[in-house]
Amino acid sequence: MSSKALIPFNIILLGISLALPASAFEFDCKLEKTSLPPVSAEADALFLQARKLEKQRYHDKEHVTALYEQAAKLDHWKALHNLARRYRLGLGTYRSAAKTLETTQRLIELGAPIGYYDLAVILERGYGVKYDMEGAWLYLHKAAKLGEPNALIRLGNHYGYNLPREQQQNDKAAAYFKCAAQQQSTEAYFEYADWLSVGEDRYPESMHYYQLAVGNGMMKAAVALNAVFSLGYYKYQIDESVAKLYDQIADNIIADPDFRIPDITTRYPLPPHPVQGYGSLPDPRVKPDSNSDKPDSDTAQE
């Protein structure tokens, strides 16, 4: 772990503010994976060992933290992120704002997008630093520009739901949610599915992204699909066989948190919508009059 003094916030914030667009909304979706620092095999082995132990109901928290610390010394970005969280919450170690900041700074030095998101959260909560919502906002945008899905989801929710009705900006919300989904994040799949159904009335595409979330092991997405086809939401016809399938998948996820169906959209194609037509496809079609183009095919990191 680097022992250098923390970079002054005003210097970092100045660089970020200069990089932000000054006027009209402009957003090009960047894939987070293009910005991720390389990870060595040795560091990854330590990280995976820590994650395996951490998922066990009863585990040695101090041992898990020690494994993360070893991986972090080798600049494993996921280990650094998880370690910063453990320093902040006091999991398997003493709580330390200084170590949380130091670890987060190392993420930023490595160029890991989640480092900017983590620092936004720290500034937003005033943890070990002065509360600074303006600074948090700048870091959140920096993380989103690098494709960090948590930041993209936060911005999507801000512009699509959290602002007063007359100030909401659907174009921004749609762009941020869609970009988050392109990062193949499970939570982003679910959030984009919600947005497509609630914000744009694009139901077949919404179901497609719910399916992708289910395929990644998200129980609440399976529950959502069960509800659609058991209750006939969004004008879908009630289909007991489909509803039963997703009820069973939800049970499988509860029984085994590692349960996955990577080919779910092709293995279990969904029935067509009675008005909008077409069912689940790997690359769902879009109605000609759609207001959007064709979709592109604070937690621990897995």
Q: Domain locations in the chain?
A: 9-147, 151-267
Note the pLDDT of residue 299.
Answer: 67
CB 93 within 8 A of CB 1: no
> Quick one: pLDDT at residue 233?
97
Q: What is the pLDDT of residue 187?
A: 97
Q: Which of 196, 194, 150, 143 is nearest to 35 (CA)?
A: 143
Q: State how far the Cα of 274 lies from the Cα of 293, in Å rounded to an integer.
A: 21
CB 63 within 8 A of CB 53: yes
pLDDT score for 279: 59
Phi, psi (degrees; rounded to nearest 5) at 242:
-70, -45
- Same fold yes or no, 9-147 and 151-267: yes
What pLDDT is attached to residue 20? 43
Residue-wise pLDDT for 11-59, tens only, equals 344 344 434 443 446 689 999 999 999 999 999 999 999 999 998 889 9
Domain 151-267 has CATH 1.25.40.10: yes
CB contact set of 162 (below 8 Å; sequence gap of 6+): none
Architecture of the 9-147 domain:
Alpha Horseshoe (1.25)
* Low pLDDT (below 50) residues in the chain: 1-24, 282-297
CB-CB contact of 74 with 105 (8 Å): no
pLDDT value, residue 130: 94
User: In this predicted structure, what is the pLDDT of residue 9?
Assistant: 43
Looking at residue 57, its pLDDT comes to 86
pTM tops 0.95, yes or no:
no
Contact 149, 188 (CB under 8 A): yes
Q: Residue for token digits 């193949």?
A: 184
> What confidence score (pLDDT) does residue 215 get?
97
Q: In this structure, is the dihedral angle defined by the CA atoms of residues 118, 119, 121 and 126, taken in order, positive or negative?
A: positive
Residues 6+ apart with CB under 8 A from 66: 92
Tokens read off for 220: 């609440």
Count other Cβ atoms within 10 Å, centred on residue 109.
Answer: 15
Q: What pLDDT is stored for residue 113 in this prediction?
A: 98
Structure tokens at 118: 């983590």
Taking the CB of residue 86, how many other CB atoms lie within 10 A of it? 23
Q: What is the pLDDT of residue 300?
A: 75
223-228 contacts, C-beta under 8 A, 24 or more apart: 223/250, 224/190, 224/193, 226/250
